Amino acid sequence: MLTVRSRPRETTDETSLGPAPWITTRPPGPLAQAAVERDEAVTSPSHTRPYPLVVKQARGSVIEDVDGNRFLDFTAGIAVCTTGHCHPEVVAAIREQADHLIHMCGSDFYYSPMIELAEKLASMAPGDEPKRVYFTNSGAETIESAFKLARHHTNRKWVISFYGAFHGRTMGALALTSSKARQKERFGPLTSMVAHVDYADCHRCPLNLTYPECDTACVADIENTLFKREVPPDEVAAIFVEPVMGEGGYIVPPSTFLPKLRKLCDRHGILLVADEIQTGMGRTGRMFACEHTGVVPDILCLAKGLASGMPLGAVVAPGRIMNWPAGSHGSTFGGNPVSCAASLATIDLLERQLVDNARQLGEVGMRKLDQMAARRKCLSHVQGLGLMIGVEVVKSRDPHRPDPKMRDRIIEEAFQRGLLLLGCGESAIRVCPPLCINRAQLEVGLDVFDEAVATVAG
């Protein structure tokens, strides 16, 4: 039986539960197994659980399960827990706000946390124009709101998204999503007048070109093919784009991609909507991923890491765009005061230290994963920005032969060794730990990942 206790280097920090990985009972232990059986009897079978982790508590970058096993977390609640699990400053902000006001619908009345956070986000967002903020509860709601805002402002109906993109599962967002067919199966008809085009994934270019030779031919294809054959450009309200593709495989496009997309939109009066739900709030080593190329989107979509795990999303746009009248859109819980307080504490931590930590440790992670890929024939295409890094699992270094079954076995083996990972795309593994992770934790986690790869792939 595999037993992994403490690692050779210290991996604790001031918020940690203790050294990790620390596996004393092969997961799932008896308490975890009992919880899984109870859950499966009463919750929706639509959930996708990659392994039987049953969480008891978490601090920083460490999660403890109900049987006392401790895991290094390289998932951050799917890139949500930017400040780490239960950061003391975020917890204190939640407690203080809950003691004063838990709810008073922000669509109907006013309260200071919502106003203060809107002011902060409006000042932080890229671009010099004065901005307004609309609050939601989640990423999918944020996309739905941006979808409606784009149509309302332009009085156009068509919207363009990219193959591989994930924008959410509600009906409008799902029409934009093009990640996995299962996500759309039996849910049609979806919101109409949505077109999809290829994303700038140079590793799998259908023209067999590589950057900079291609000069982002996928953007030119929108103009030369889509606009000529299917969608008149003057009927397109918006193009939705992830600056780094998330669920579709952690794909980093060439640096010319977003600027060319910006020019295309400007040429035809189309709104550029940046879906920064996963990439935003410091994940890529900048507060917003679009800042890496200097592109200013017309509409910015935020959620996930915005409030360190509290339900909150936001649409940020210039006042000239967010000019819809009273009653045209609203939310009962969007901008909840407790979530807003958590977000203000989160942003403070990000600005003080965590964005910079993501940038610095992202460079460490990329180097270590590159070295790993050079040794392991099953690893390919290490790419990322900050602490948003993906690596493909393939057959014998062939980028055209993804190996999703081996990917899943590696993730399972890592779990057994005390490391939490998630897949994305067809066969990629993502590395997206909390932004508070320290270097020792990151390096030990990647060592465990390497051991899992070696065990599975030989």
pLDDT at 342 over 60: yes
Q: Residues 240-246: what's their mean pLDDT?
A: 98
- Say which residues have a Cβ less than 8 Å from residue 277's Cβ, sequence separation at least 6: 139, 142, 143, 246, 301, 302, 303, 304, 313
Q: Residues 125-134: what's their mean pLDDT?
A: 98
* Residue 146 one-letter amino acid: A
pLDDT at 284 over 80: yes
In the block, residue with structure tokens 């399972």: 412
Name the token pair of 117.
């956070």
Return d(Cα 273, Cα 261) in angstroms, integer.
11
pLDDT at 95 over 50: yes
Q: What is the pLDDT of residue 252?
A: 96
Query: By mean pLDDT, which of 6-15, 70-79, 130-139 is the weakest?
Result: 6-15
Domain 30-89+350-457 shares a fold with domain 104-335: no
Q: Residues 1-18: what's their mean pLDDT?
A: 56
Name the token pair of 346.
């989160």
CB-based contact 58:86 (threshold 8 Å): yes
Using pLDDT thresholds of 50, 70 and 90, give the confidence band for residue 398.
Answer: confident
Helix (H, G, I), strand (E, B), or coil: what is residue 84?
Answer: coil
Using pLDDT thresholds of 50, 70 and 90, give the confidence band for residue 351.
Answer: very high
Using pLDDT thresholds of 50, 70 and 90, give the confidence band for residue 237.
Answer: very high
Q: Residues 81-105: what's their mean pLDDT?
A: 97
Q: Which residues of 57-71 are buried (b: 16+ CB within 10 A; e: fewer)?
A: ebbbbbbbbbbebbb
Q: Residues 430-435: what's their mean pLDDT?
A: 98
Using pLDDT thresholds of 50, 70 and 90, give the confidence band for residue 456.
Answer: very high
Q: What is the pLDDT of residue 218?
A: 80
Tell me the chain's radius of gyration from C-alpha atoms: 22
CB-based contact 123:288 (threshold 8 Å): no
More confident residue, 35 or 15: 35
Q: What is the pLDDT of residue 11?
A: 56
Q: Checking phi first, is residue 400 left (phi over 0); if not, alpha (psi -120 to 50) or beta?
A: alpha
Return d(Cα 433, Cα 306) in angstroms, integer.
15
- Give the single-character DSSP code of 343: H
Q: Residues 343-349: what's their mean pLDDT?
A: 98
Return d(Cα 47, Cα 387) in angstroms, integer.
26
Using pLDDT thresholds of 50, 70 and 90, give the confidence band for residue 458.
Answer: confident
Return d(Cα 458, Cα 456) in angstroms, integer.
6
Query: By mean pLDDT, which of 49-58, 245-254, 393-402, 429-438 is the weakest?
Result: 393-402
Q: What is the mean pLDDT of the chain?
A: 93
pLDDT at 186 over 50: yes
Q: How many CA atoms lie within 13 A of 289 on its CB side?
A: 31
Name the token pair of 42.
């009463």
Return d(Cα 309, Cα 269) in angstroms, integer.
36
In whole angstroms, how far apart are CA 441 and each of 10, 48, 56, 321? 8, 27, 20, 44
Q: Residues 105-125: what's their mean pLDDT?
A: 97
pLDDT at 140 over 70: yes
Percent of the chain as helix, strand, coil, to the nearest 5: 40, 20, 45
Q: What is the pLDDT of residue 1?
A: 41
Return d(Cα 250, Cα 289) in angstroms, integer.
13
User: If you average pLDDT over each of 184-188, 207-211, 277-281, which comes out highest?
Assistant: 277-281
Q: Checking phi first, is residue 139 left (phi over 0); if not, alpha (psi -120 to 50) or beta?
A: alpha
Q: What is the pLDDT of residue 6?
A: 47
Return d(Cα 386, Cα 349) in angstroms, integer.
16
Q: Which residue, among 343, 355, 277, has the nearest Cα to 310 in the 3D structure?
A: 343
Q: Residues 451-458: what's their mean pLDDT?
A: 94
- Pair type for strands 422-424 and 428-431: antiparallel
Q: What is the pLDDT of residue 400?
A: 81
Query: By mean pLDDT, which of 10-14, 39-43, 313-317, 391-395 is the weakest?
Result: 10-14
Other Cβ atoms within 10 Å of 123 Cβ, number: 9
- Say which residues have a Cβ less than 8 Å from residue 137's Cβ, sequence separation at least 6: 311, 312, 313, 331, 333, 334, 336
Name the token pair of 219.
């953007």
- Give the single-character DSSP code of 381: E
Architecture of domain 30-89+350-457: Alpha-Beta Complex (3.90)
Identify the helix (H) or strand (E) that includes residue 149: helix 139-154
- Say which residues have a Cβ less than 8 Å from residue 262's Cβ, sequence separation at least 6: 272, 295, 296
Other Cβ atoms within 10 Å of 320 Cβ, number: 12
Q: Residues 354-370: what's their mean pLDDT?
A: 98
Q: What is the pLDDT of residue 214?
A: 52
Return d(Cα 216, Cα 205) in angstroms, integer.
10
pLDDT at 74 over 50: yes
Q: Residues 194-207: what's their mean pLDDT?
A: 77
Return d(Cα 236, Cα 265) in angstroms, integer.
9
Beta bridge partners of 384: 389
- Pair type for strands 55-59 and 62-65: antiparallel
Return d(Cα 56, Cα 299) in angstroms, integer.
38
pLDDT at 135 over 70: yes
Architecture of domain 104-335: 3-Layer(aba) Sandwich (3.40)
Return d(Cα 73, Cα 241) in angstroms, integer.
28
In the block, residue with structure tokens 């909150």: 312
Q: What is the pLDDT of residue 220?
A: 87
Domain boundaries, the chain: 30-89+350-457, 104-335
